[in-house]
Structure 1
Amino acid sequence: MEAPVTTWTDHTADRPVSLTAPNGIDRAAHHRLDEAWLAAAWSHPSTRCFVVSGGQVLIDETADGRTEIVMTPSFEAPLTEAHRYFLGIDQDGVSYFALQKDSLPGRMDDSARPAGLREAGLLLSPRDAGLMVHAVALENWQRLHRFCSRCGERTVIAAAGHIRRCPACGAEHYPRTDPAVIMAVVDEHDRILLGRQVHWPEGRFSTLAGFVEPGESIEQSVRREVHEEVGIDVGEVEYLASQPWPFPSSLMLGFVARATSTTIQVDGDEIHEARWFSRDELDAAFTSGEVLPPYGISIAARLIERWYGKPLPTRTAF
C-alpha cells in the first residue's frame, strides 16, 4: 500500500540552492564564434579575466569584508600557455573571460588564496560564483575531452571554449553535462533517509544520488537508485530544484521521494550505511558530532534543510 503523502513547513524557502541564484551575467552565446568581437572585447579596458587551474581560482577579501575572485584587466593578462574562455557580459557591459593555465598565478598580497568551488561558492557573490562554476565546468570538460570520439584525432578549441572541433573529420564536440538525481527520501512518519558512501569518513551522511541511465526518465531514475542502493521502494516523486555540479560535469536534479517501504538493505558497493532520522534524532546527532552534514554549497544540504526546517550546521573543512 502506498504511504500517505507527508507535508512539512519549509522554513528555509527563501534560501536558494547555491550556484543557482540570478547572477546578472548574460552568457551572450551569439558572440562566441565572432572572432573580431572577441578580440575587441579582450582588448577593452573594462574587460576582466581570472585564472582557473585544477578547479581552483584565487579569491581575496575586499576592504568591506566581501570575498571576490581575484581579477585583472584582460589587456594586462598574457595569453601565453593559456586557453581563453568567454564567460559573458554583466549588466554594466563588462565582459568576463577565464584563462585556463597549468597553475594559478602567484598571490598578489597576503590575503589572496586559492580556493575550490566547494569553499568559494559559499563565500562569493552570485556573480562571481556563477562565473566560477562556468569556468570550472569548461576547464574540466576541456581537460577530459581533448580527442575526437569519432576518429581519435586531437581536437582544437573553438567558440571561445564552448566547442572542440576535429580538424580531421570535422566533428564538433560540445561540453558534456551528465544528469544525476539526488533525493530526500521521507517515509510516512516524516523521517528522512540518509546514507554514507563506502569511501566517506565515519559520520558523514547525505541524501542518496545517482546518474540517470540511457532511456530512463528522471522519475524512474529516482526509484531505481533508491531501490538499488538501500532496498527501499519509492512511490510519489516531486521535483524541487537543480544545481550545476562540475565534479566533473554533473547537473544535479533534486527531488523529494516518498518511501513506500522502510526496511533498509544497503548494497555494500556504493552505500556502506543508511539510517532513518527524525528531526530530533538528526538534531541530536549533529550536536554530538555523530553525524556530519553535507557541504553547505551542495543541493544535498538544501534538500535536508527543507525537511529539517532550519539551516544545517556549517562544515568548516573542505
Structure 2
Amino acid sequence: MTLILASRPNVYSSSPLDRIATRREDPDWIAAKLADPETLFVPVWRTRNLVRTTDDGTPEAVYLSGATAHALRMEQDGPWAFLGILEARAVFAIDISATDDPVPLLPETLGTFVDLRSVGWGVPRPEASVLAHARGLMHWRQRSKFCSLCGNPCEVKSSGHMLLCTVCNTQHFPRTDPAVIMLVHRGDKALLGHSTRFPRATMYSTLAGFVEPGETLEEAVRREVLEESGIQVGDVHYHSSQPWPFPGNIMLGFYAEGLTEEITIDPEELKDARWFSRDQMRNCDQHGFALPRVDSIARRLIEDWLAHG
C-alpha cells in the first residue's frame, strides 16, 4: 500500500500558544495576568466562539482585552482557564454562558458568536486552534462541577485545568476521547458511508469510531470498518490527527487497505455505504452526493488520496 503523507496541517491544529503549563500553579503570576490590561481573553458563549468576517470574507477570531475584557469578567464571573502565551501576552478562556444575550456586553460590530464548524475554515489558521482550545476546555468546565466518584462539589485548581473534589480529594482532568477516522481504499476506489447523524442528506464521508479500552489504534480501525461495513481491512497507515472539540475528541486519521469488496452495513450506524471511484469523488456534484466539510480531517484524507491517483 502506497504511503500517503499529510500535505498540510489540519484545521484546528498549529496552535500559536505556548501553553507554559508551569505557570498554571503560580497563583500570583496568574492573578497579575488576569489584571493586566494587555492580557487577551477568548470568550465562549454556550459552546460558541466570537468571530468576525473581514472585508474579503475571511473569518477572524476576536480576542478581548483592556476595559472590554475587564467589564465582561466582572459582569459574568463565570468559568475561566489560562490557555497560554501569545506573542508575550497571556491568553485566557472565559465562559459567559450565564447571560441570555451576550451582544449588549460587547461593543457594536465586534463580531458574532457562532459554532466554529459553521465558519468554514478552508485552510489551517492558528487562531482557529485557539478558539477550539477555548471551546473544548470551557465545555469540560461547564459539565464537570461535581465529582464523578462521590457526587460532591469540586473546586478549581491549576488555573482551570484540574478539578479537585472537596470531599474525597479525587482529581479530575479535561477529557479528550480518541476516535479513529479512516479512508478505506481498494484499487482506484474508496469506501464512503452516509450516517443518519450527518447534517446533509447527500453527504458521504469516511468511516469513524471511538477507540475501546485495551485496543490499539490499528485494531480500532479494523474493528470499526468491519462492524460498520463488513469490509475486511489489511494494512493500516497513519495520516495525521486533528483536535475536534465538538465536544471533546481527538481524531486520529488513517488509510486502510480494503481486502474485500462486498458491503454489509450496520443499519444502526449507517444508512448507506458505497465504493466511489476517484472520478466520482472529484465530480461529486455531478454524481449526486456531497463530500464532508472542508474543515474536517475526513475531507483531508479524501483530498490527499485523490492527489495520489
What TM-score, normalized to structure 1?
0.87
Aligned with residue 98 of structure 1, among 64, 69, 93: 93
SS at match of 2:285: helix
Q: Does 1:30 align with 2:22?
A: yes
Per-residue Cα deviation, 1:168-223 (whole angstroms, up to 9, x for no partner):
11111000111110001001x22110000123342111000000001111100000
Give the partner amino acid of 1:32.
R
Q: Does 1:181 align with 2:180?
A: yes
Provide the residue aligned with 2:276 in structure 1.
277
Give the partner amino acid of 1:179.
P
Percent identity over the alignment is 39
Aligned with residue 188 of structure 2, among 187, 190, 194: 190
Per-residue Cα deviation, 1:86-114 (whole angstroms, up to 9, x for no partner):
11102x20111111121462153347222
Report if the CA contact (8 A) 1:230-1:264 is conserved: yes
For 1:27 and 1:161, how far apart are their aligned partners in 2?
Answer: 13
For 2:235 and 2:193, how far apart are their aligned partners in 1?
Answer: 20
Give the partner amino acid of 2:64.
T
Alignment of 1:1-318 (within 5 A): 5-6=1-2, 13-21=6-14, 23-62=15-54, 67-73=59-65, 74-79=69-74, 80-90=76-86, 92-102=87-97, 103=99, 105-106=102-103, 108-110=107-109, 112-120=111-119, 122=121, 126-187=125-186, 189-200=187-198, 201-284=200-283, 286-288=284-286, 290-309=288-307
Task: Tell me the matched-pair count.
Answer: 299
Give the partner amino acid of 2:102.
P
Report if the CA contact (8 A) 1:59-1:67 is conserved: yes
Report if the CA contact (8 A) 1:178-1:249 is conserved: yes
Return the offset for 1:238.
Answer: 0.1
For 1:205 and 1:194, how far apart are their aligned partners in 2?
Answer: 6
Structure 1 residues 199, 126: CA separation in 2 closer, same or farther (over 3 Å shift)? Answer: closer
Per-residue Cα deviation, 1:152-183 (whole angstroms, up to 9, x for no partner):
11212221211111011111100011111000
Report if the CA contact (8 A) 2:229-2:263 is conserved: yes
Between 1:245-254 and 1:192-201, the stretch displaced more is 192-201
What TM-score, normalized to structure 2?
0.89
Structure 1 residues 123, 298: CA separation in 2 closer, same or farther (over 3 Å shift)? Answer: closer
Structure 1 residues 251, 7: CA separation in 2 closer, same or farther (over 3 Å shift)? Answer: closer
Report if the CA contact (8 A) 1:51-1:105 is conserved: no
For 1:302 and 1:124, how far apart are their aligned partners in 2?
Answer: 11
Per-residue Cα deviation, 1:210-266 (whole angstroms, up to 9, x for no partner):
000011111000000000000000000001111111121111100000011010000
Unaligned runs of 5+ in 1: 311-318
Return the offset for 1:67.
Answer: 3.4
For 1:179 and 1:98, how far apart are their aligned partners in 2?
Answer: 23
For 1:66 and 1:283, how far apart are their aligned partners in 2?
Answer: 25
Between 1:72-81 and 1:45-54, the stretch displaced more is 72-81
Report if the CA contact (8 A) 1:180-1:253 is conserved: yes
Per-residue Cα deviation, 1:104-133 (whole angstroms, up to 9, x for no partner):
621533472222121347179733212111
Report if the CA contact (8 A) 1:185-1:193 is conserved: yes
For 1:195 and 1:304, how far apart are their aligned partners in 2?
Answer: 13
Unaligned runs of 5+ in 2: none
For 1:123 and 1:186, how far apart are their aligned partners in 2?
Answer: 25
Structure 1 residues 192, 65: CA separation in 2 closer, same or farther (over 3 Å shift)? Answer: closer
Report if the CA contact (8 A) 1:84-1:98 is conserved: yes
SS at match of 1:169: coil
SS at match of 1:148: coil
